[in-house]
Chains A and B, each alone.
Chain A
Amino acid sequence: MYVAVKGGEKAIRNAHRLLARTRRGDTSLPEVSVAQIQAQMSLAVARVMDEGALYDTELAALALKQAAGDQVEAIFLLRAYRATLPRFCASVPLETETMRVGRRVSAIYKDLPGGQRLGATFDYSHRLLDFSLLAAGETPEKDDFSVHSAENPAEEPVMPMPCPHVLNLLTEEGLVKTEETLANPAEAEIPDITREPLAFPSSRATRLQILARGDEGFLLAMAYSTQRGYGRNHPFAGEIRVGAVDVWLEAEETGFPVPAGEIDLTECEMVNQFVGSPDIAPQFTRGYGLVFGSAERKAMAMALVDRALRADEYNEEIASPAQQEEFVLAHCDNVEAAGFTSHLKLPHYVDFQSELGLIRKLRAEYARKHSARANATMDNQPLQVTP
């Protein structure tokens, strides 16, 4: 009688074997290597590192391979692995000002110190399927950057001149408020969302940590909603920069910072609608996004949502979902969201049985009450009362 529910152990084992076979696909084709994913699917790798909250391109590529390309599953794999790692210390605050930029654009100045630099971008590409990739599987030779020429982008110096933050230029003029934590970064208390449970109201530092590993799709939709009037905040893309930044650690024994390596980052600073009061001169406000790897869409969405969540700070009316921190922070994590949604697949016989019992009782009472009135008017099936 228990055939349907017994044998779970064997069923699980077989399901996993089948999954492994499905992941591998057609064995007449060569197996994709982790190194290939790492090198050729760098944007997918970036998203897994960012939302998996661990900077490791190889493990992120491994997770993608293991998850058969399912991003949210890969993010979960990396996040679960991350949770087992010891935490040694916090790095010295990153100096994104010194980023070796591969891309840097500002939508608010035509030209500016450090210049505009398009870098590797899908922007301005016509979204036409490139069938040459299908045919040959290789990039055409004329785009080979190893050939020396005046037009060779790879040969340009990476950092031709200092590249100050656009918003700092505005800050110097007093047009944008200096952020409080910028005043003395060393003294700022650094919360850690991986160790401390979330409490409301949260701090901006906590919010930014949560947004940084929040689901790109969720944040994109929230950001978009502010543009459509649900918590509008008049954004300008002050600056977007993508490139490599050194990470410095201050080891206890040394007493001075030492470089630990470099990581690729995307940073976005939005310039938003200005605020002012009888006592304070009008100033622009700011939204901030910072994510691992090249992930511009996510960084922009994060910056827009960060600004929306500062509504309280600027005494704005909190009326839209993107402005409500409990709503945004409790629901933006895709590991949590995917887990809880998928748990509906677990058996719920017991809960459902208790509801069945009640609804049959209610329907029986309903039938008794209405039986005096025309039985024939009931278009439902006859009640199936528990034997």
Chain B
Amino acid sequence: MTNMTTETRFAQSGRESMENTAAEGYNFAYLDEQTKRMIRRGLLKAVAIPGFQVPFGGREMPLPYGWGTGGMQVTAAILAPEDILKVIDQGADDTTNAVSIRAFFERTARVATTTRSGEATIIQTRHRIPETPLKRDQMMVFQVPIPEPLRFIEPSETETATLHALGDYGVMHVKLYEDIVAHGHIATCYAYPVEVNDRYMMDPSPIPRFDNPKLHMSPALMLFGAGREKRLYALPPYTRVVSIDFEDYPFEAQRQDGVCAICGSANTYLDELIVDDRGTRHYVCSDTDYCQEHAGQQGIRA
């Protein structure tokens, strides 16, 4: 799939999926071709206007809203039979919902799946970006709960649409300023707002702000799908993505104390485990694939 433009991929995945129709009474990757075309049109618009939320006619999926239906619709729309799919939730391939979504595409599209970030052509994710640097022939698909970065400041869609149109993001700066006044720090730890291509403010989905720097100038195409809210948005490869901050309070990716108890990594995002009833804590990599690979390099059996 290398050196192929996004558009060709879209066109090709549509054509090839027709040949695979009705293996088990479902179309290739579940959605009908008309719906996929509608989603691809939305994605093309999203890629053309980085960070802009494109409304789309989202469908009910056989998984509940809030469980990744937006990401699944995007994946279904871009998936081609020769793709290799990786699905992670909280960085891990074997969390229950990641297992469930991966099994869904194994059943409905019969595509190859992998847990290796480096081998995947499409990575659908909830709440993390892999630690292994992404490559230019890869696509990330993010599951998005609330696509509107200003939603918790302004609940009305009519109002936030106006603010985006005017590029008026003062309310977010005020919110972050109030954090600093109240707590001495910006108190947003995940879903940390970014400004895309010097224009639109965007919610990067609830990834920890540790992952925000990975969005900037990423060689991989990043697609975002919000099923319940019926919105698509995108970061084309090599897009400027700036985390919102102040000159005197610059953005800081979270630093964590501690190292991974399995692989010994000190520069990855760590999950905390409470391992006994006296509250003893251990830390392990949230990215299970990276952890295994890194442990293997160290000669440790994970």
Contact = CB atoms under 8 A, between A and B. Distances in A.
Interface string A126-169: 00000000000000000000000000000000000000000000
A8 B190 contact: no
Contact of B158 (A80, A326, A358): A326
B60 A342 contact: no
A386 B258 contact: yes
A349 interface: yes
A361 B157 CA distance: 35
Interface in B42-100: 55-62, 64-67, 69, 89-92, 94-100
Interface in B153-199: 155-158, 183-185, 187, 189-190
B161 to A, nearest CB: 8
Given A351-B206, A353-B271, A386-B257, A2 B288 contact: yes
B256 A357 contact: yes
Contacts of A11: 96
Interface in A326-350: 326, 330, 335-336, 338-343, 346-350
A251 B254 CA distance: 62
A348 B64 CA distance: 17
B225 interface: no
Given A79-B60, A83-B59, A347-B95, A339 B65 contact: yes
B109 to A, nearest CB: 15
B272 A356 contact: yes
Contacts of B65: 335-336, 338-340, 343
A308 B31 CA distance: 37
B271 A349 contact: yes
Looking at A2, A80, A330, A354, the one whose CB has the most chain B CB atoms below 10 A away is A354
B88 to A, nearest CB: 10
Contacts of B293: none
Contact of B64 (A197, A330, A343, A354): A343
Nearest to B206: A351
Nearest to A337: B65
A350 B257 CA distance: 15
B204 interface: no
Which bracket fits the contact residues of A? Answer: 35 or more
A361 B186 CA distance: 12
Interface stretch (B6-14, B233-241, B279-287): B279-287
A81 B230 CA distance: 19
A198 B67 contact: no
Nearest to A344: B66
A84 interface: yes
A387 B99 CA distance: 33
Interface of B: 32, 55-62, 64-67, 69, 89-92, 94-100, 103, 126-128, 145, 155-158, 183-185, 187, 189-190, 206-210, 228, 230-231, 254, 256-258, 261-262, 269-273, 279, 281-282, 284, 286, 288
23 contacts: A1-B261, A5-B94, A6-B94, A8-B95, A8-B98, A9-B103, A76-B64, A83-B61, A197-B231, A199-B55, A335-B65, A339-B64, A340-B228, A347-B89, A348-B127, A350-B91, A350-B206, A350-B269, A354-B189, A354-B254, A386-B257, A386-B281, A387-B281
Given A201-B158, A336-B65, A362-B183, 8 more contacts: A5-B95, A83-B61, A194-B57, A349-B272, A354-B190, A356-B272, A384-B279, A386-B257
